[in-house]
Amino acid sequence: MAQIIETVDVDVPVSVAYNQWTQFETFPQFLDEVESITQSGDTHTHWVVEVAGQRREFDAEITEQHPDERVAWNSTGGEADHAGVVTFHKLTDTTSRVSVQLDWEPQGAVEKIGDLVGVGSHAVKKDLQNFKKFIESAGSESGGWRGDVPR
- Average pLDDT in the 113-136 region? 80
Residue 96 has pLDDT above 90, yes or no: yes
Q: Return the CATH number of the domain spanning residue range 2-138.
A: 3.30.530.20
pLDDT at 14: 97
pLDDT at 106: 60
Q: How is the chain split into domains, by residue range?
A: 2-138
pLDDT at 51: 77
pLDDT at 114: 53
CA distance 62 to 73: 4
What is the tens place of the pLDDT at every residue in 8-67? 999 999 999 999 999 999 999 999 999 999 999 999 999 998 877 888 899 999 999 999
Dihedral angle of Cα 131, 136, 140, 141, to the nearest 10 degrees: 0
pTM for this entry:
0.90
CA dist 64 to 19, 70, 86, 119, 132, Å? 15, 7, 10, 27, 23
pLDDT at 81: 80
pLDDT level of residue 107 (50, 70, 90 thresholds): low
